Amino acid sequence: DTEVTQTPKHLVMGMTNKKSLKCEQHMGHRAMYWYKQKAKKPPELMFVYSYEKLSINESVPSRFSPECPNSSLLNLHLHALQPEDSALYLCASSQDTMRTEAFFGQGTRLTVV
């Protein structure tokens, strides 16, 4: 099983809403990532979790809050987002942060209204 599952696939939220994106993998990977991708642009790294601890935060605004409850799950909590935060949010995992092959989920298309 080389699958990374993201839910929901689509999300529309208002600027005052609180929502969460979820990501799950059962490959035994110990590194998990959140990326943001705007249309026709490459993915941009947001957060890296290694062995369930946050190891990289690429200066992401605090309205994005990651959480790694266990080695298989990664959440991204959203609060008070802006319309410019609308994007495809991608989760990825790899065996470890020594950059073995990365596997991506299908993404959550987020629209902030």
Partner 1 sequence: KQEVTQIPAALSVPEGENLVLNCSFTDSAIYNLQWFRQDPGKGLTSLLLIQSSQREQTSGRLNASLDKSSGRSTLYIAASQPGDSATYLCAVDYTGGFKTIFGAGTRLFVKA
Q: Which two tokens stand for residue 31?
A: 């590194």
Q: What is the nearest approach in angstroms of partner 1 to the Cβ of residue 105? A: 5
Name the segment binding partner 1 (CB under 8 A); options: 13-21, 60-68, 73-81, 96-104: 96-104
Q: With the C-alpha atoms ordered 66, 56, 86, 42, is the resulting torsion angle positive or negative?
A: negative
Position 60 contacts partner 1 (CB under 8 A): no
List the Cα angle 21/26/30 in 5-degree steps: 85
Residues of the shown chain interacting with partner 1 in the complex, contacts defined by CB under 8 A:
4, 6, 41-45, 48, 55-56, 88, 90, 92, 97-107, 109
